[in-house]
Structure 1
């Protein structure tokens, strides 16, 4: 599940379609858009597919984890499935981040970047509150950033 403007990026839309990304737009921009996206998520989960959600609902403006929005709760209300918290480390500063200008609008400074995708323990849907998951993702992001710094031999 991802923000429609990012999904429609002329550089990466082909990849998002192949990956099966589900674009979502706010109801202000597209009345009924959230409902349609939730219907697609429900279909995927009913077919035992993994659905990855970016619960902040936007790219970070500063590389930090920000408050989670209600999308995850809407998904779990329809489909009470276990949630596996995850965090990405190492993307801040890449051309896909908002560092130094709007994401996807600047030339890449590097071809490859060290990135860590850290996973936490699954959380039962009944216990998966927005606050609990946000806390766990923040901890995973901190550990990912520390591991990247360790691998680089210094501080972030």
Structure 2
């Protein structure tokens, strides 16, 4: 085996370790709320912002609204804007995070690497352009990538965890209406 083949084999191992073996562990969904007036379950115009890569999650949220009796009416004066925003993760020890990534790369994925993902889901209610109520939910998870996380992949797949968190935040919001 030549040196080029060895390097190619190493990169192949790292690719598999990083992109195919990933498990996520969710945080508790936390709510921050600004409430000016109470909003009832009435006909609303629903606008989704920030879901351009999350069509399936957007449809799931829309289905939850429908099941809970929130009727979508494009001509309504009441607007519900559902906003999904990515937050930059804050690592308590950034040096250790970077060192962990390098060690994972050099070990070919045998040492798992840690990645933090954070987003906010905002429900903003407005009537004739004036904000009536706004609820913000913090959604976060810790992802581990590497060969040892294969055991957790089936039950802790990041997309599944993320979707569950969005559903939980939506159901918490509906309880507040």
TM-score by length of 2: 0.25
Structure 1 length-normalised TM: 0.27
Q: Which has the higher contact order (CA 8 A, sep 6+)?
A: 2
